[in-house]
């Protein structure tokens, strides 16, 4: 891990999407047409969002991903570069669209999302091997599930060989994810429903969350961090259980808040090596994003986060 004075090096093996965000009063019924108050578009995708959050805070971030050979792809590459993210391992796929994510945000700030993977489905183990020099020099490798599972498993295995810690956000959830193929994973960061799906156990109470998380640790995963939205998060290891308290804010748009949490956690963990401290700071970072519209544009820079943290403590 990097020292507190030095920005960490984070590699993201993951997805990118174009967010198509419609702000609505309510979802239409089947066959109904409604007028929506406003629309925005922007760069997104779980991998790209987490990469941008870490980069905005000052990490040196490298992205391993695929885009389509369309205008969305060009714009995504430009967006990575604008945030100082290394794009040497961002490749275009001929004949494929870029990934897109239509998002519907209600007045409460809650959102509903569809994703079309597009070129993300073409990110394969061979691309991980091609990026080996960059990946093995990272302090952390961060992954999500908007890319093929075989690529996730391969990355976890190779990272273990290189001695590089790994973080997996198992979203969007799928029953196809094999816990047995994640046995050398350092950190798994699911929400309640993802934890239940992976463990096959209920997660309705604190005791159930602990039991479900420990069942995965027994299968070889190092640490489980369960995200609980407005209830904060839970840190679970083989011999430890800690609550990460949320920072109370008035929600404006929850889109991308989970990615803000995970991307900033990766940054703080790589910089300090202190898991619980990194999680508490990530909770504040996610709270900042919830109070603003959009996805990546709602993420704080290091200076903005420092100011927000002082105000939250004060």
Q: Annotated catalytic sites, by residue?
A: 259
* Residue 254 structure tokens: 């929850």
C-alpha 134/C-alpha 203 separation (Å) is: 38
Contacts of 100 (CB under 8 A, 6+ apart): 17, 18, 20, 72, 115, 116, 118
Q: Is the CB of residue 210 less than 8 Å from the CB of residue 241? A: yes
Q: Is the CB of residue 67 less than 8 Å from the CB of residue 91? A: yes
The structure tokens 């908007």 sit at 146
Burial zone of 114 (CB within 10 Å; 0-12 exposed, 13-18 middle, 19+ buried): exposed
What are the CA-CA distances from residue 142 to residues 32, 77, 111 (Å)? Answer: 41, 19, 24
């Amino acid at each position: 891990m990097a020292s507190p004075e030095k920005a960490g090096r984070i590699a993201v093996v993951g997805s990118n999407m174009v967010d198509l965000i419609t702000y609505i009063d309510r979802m239409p019924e089947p066959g109904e047409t409604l007028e929506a108050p406003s629309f925005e578009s922007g760069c997104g995708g779980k991998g790209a969002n987490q990469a941008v959050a870490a980069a905005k805070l000052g990490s040196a971030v490298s992205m391993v991903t695929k885009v389509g050979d369309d205008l969305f792809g060009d714009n995504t590459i430009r967006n990575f570069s604008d945030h100082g993210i290394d794009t040497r391992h961002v490749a275009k796929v001929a004949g494929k669209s870029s990934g897109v994510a239509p998002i519907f945000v209600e007045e409460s700030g809650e959102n509903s999302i569809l994703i079309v993977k597009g070129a993300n489905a073409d990110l394969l183990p061979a691309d991980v091997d091609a990026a080996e020099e960059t990946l093995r020099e990272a302090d952390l490798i961060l992954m999500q599930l908007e890319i093929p599972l075989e690529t996730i498993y391969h990355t976890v295995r190779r990272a273990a060989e290189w001695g590089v810690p790994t973080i997996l956000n198992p979203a969007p959830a799928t029953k196809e994810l094999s816990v047995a193929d994640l046995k050398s994973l350092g950190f798994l960061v699911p929400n309640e429903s993802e934890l239940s799906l992976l463990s096959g156990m209920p997660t309705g109470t604190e005791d159930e969350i602990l039991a479900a998380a420990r069942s995965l640790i027994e299968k070889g995963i190092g640490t489980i961090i369960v995200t609980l939205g407005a209830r904060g998060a839970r840190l679970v290891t083989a011999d430890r259980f800690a609550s990460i308290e949320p920072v109370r804010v008035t929600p404006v748009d929850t889109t991308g808040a989970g990615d803000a949490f995970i991307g900033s956690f990766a940054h703080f963990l790589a910089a300090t090596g202190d898991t619980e401290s990194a999680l508490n700071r990530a909770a504040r970072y996610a709270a900042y994003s919830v109070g603003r519209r959009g996805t990546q544009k709602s993420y704080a820079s290091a200076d903005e986060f420092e100011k927000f943290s002082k105000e939250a403590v004060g």
